[in-house]
Amino acid sequence: MKPINVGLLGIGTVGGGAFTVLSRNQGEITRRAGRPIRISVVADKDMERAQRITQGQARVIDDAFAVVVDPQVDIVVELIGGCTVAKDLVLKAIAHGKHVVTANKALLAMHGNEIFAAAQRQGVMVAFEAAVAGGIPIIKALREGLTANRIEWIAGIINGTTNFILSEMRDKGLTFEAALQDAQRRGYAEADPTFDIEGIDAAHKLTIIAAISFGIPMQFDKAYTEGIAKLAAEDIRYAEELGYRIKLLGITKRVPEGIELRVHPTLIPARRLIANVEGVMNAILVKGDAVGPTLYYGAGAGAEPTASAVVADLVDVTRMHTADPEHRVPHLAFQPDALSDVSILPIAEVETAYYLRLRVADRPGVLADITRILADLEISIEALVQKQPHAGEDSVDIIMLTHRTREKRVNAAMERIEALPVVDGKVIRLRLEQLNGD
């Protein structure tokens, strides 16, 4: 049977991995897809590297735009990254009737609505399993495996760099800066780690997950994003003493008022499986109304784990290549004309529990003043710890865990507490989730 011809745009880490996996497992992949899949042309500015990887098995050029208009190419795999040239290439490929496979989470989070609409008009597929959590098949699980469920909430460790940094801070007592430097030395963090440590990468992925889970358009601009750069080693230590671990979580949740869409450091009970995911690994906890909580764990990055997802998408597209577009799985799991316009909640309206740490003067009556403010705002305390002052110091740390309350109440409480003359500096606030399947 005639092979499916693939045009590969970018043969860096993931592209090289995809070429290797496809070559190594060619027989198995052909048996699964029903016909051979071969990368016939590769576009990369570094043609010498591309030729070294392909070993003459594919034509190598430096013009990606020539690939997306090539009549011999059936599927375009976009692994260039970014949201400018990549967007132009993907839209041009679609306009020329090509199916597209991409690992570009930023592109989909920012421009997915436009891209999927164009693909729908042209009757082609855009597959993007590799855009979220590397080799973990979370997109397929949400879009197909859990399609009988009403998804209630999702909480995921979806950025390996930040998870490694937090693991190092907890295990070795490192500061954030020292742990970041370690991650950069090991190649887990970029020279400019902003997208990772500020939570932007996780927010891109969460935007895609939320769209598939709840049948809503991509709305990256409405995601609340808070990174780990300001996280202090003492908060990780105090959380541990209280029986919690701190992870950077992407959380999206269906509540009566709308959809929560938020990325931030979160305390999780240490006994939860997801709290024990360490290093650069990813894990995603999904709660469906019928199936209950399910956990997906694996490598969230790397050449071959991500290539695994890229090649799986190639197999899916190949299987459905000749199918009537109306009978294919919709890009965002729900039929395009059935997407919901439910609103994304602002963070001030989100309800969760909180960890609060403040430094106060070590004198009588201080605690009463603070608890009175919390009571006035109907914030109840679940646990409270007052640390012993160090020798020669006249101030102490107080750590409080609250019951669930709305964030705007906590904001108001923090403002009033910080105004007390006995309070030194700002109140440190972290969110807390039980993730117990409720």
For 150, the token pair is 């009403």
Alpha-carbon gap, residue 436 to 438, rounded angstroms: 6
CA distance 228 to 251: 15
Among the listed residues 87, 205, 247, 287, the single catalytic one is 205
Count of other CB atoms within 10 angstroms of residue 173: 13
Per residue, the 3-state secondary structure of 295-356, as one string, reads: EEEEECCCHHHHHHHHHHHHHHHHHHCCCCHHHCCCCCCCCHHHCCCCCECCHHHCEEEEEE
46, two tokens: 């570094």
205 flagged as catalytic: yes
* Dist. CA 351–CA 361, nearest whole Å: 30
Smallest CA-to-CA distance from 435 within 223, 279, 247, 280 is with 247
Going by C-alpha positions, the residue among 223, 249, 265 that lies closest to residue 159 is 249
- Label residues 104-122 b or e (16+ Cβ within 10 Å = b): bbbbbbbbbeebbebbbeb
Place of tokens 């011809």: 5
Q: Identify the sign of the CA torsion 256, 257, 263, 269.
A: negative
**Residue whose C-alpha is closest to residue 432's, from 161, 180, 242, 209:** 242
Buried b (16+ CB within 10 A) or exposed e, 135-153: bbbbbbbbbebbeebebbb
- 323 contact partners, CB below 8 Å, separation of at least 6: none
> Rounded distance, CA 305 to CA 152, Å?
28
306 token code pair: 């991500």
* Alpha-carbon span 108 to 128, nearest angstrom: 9
Q: Which residues are catalytic?
A: 205
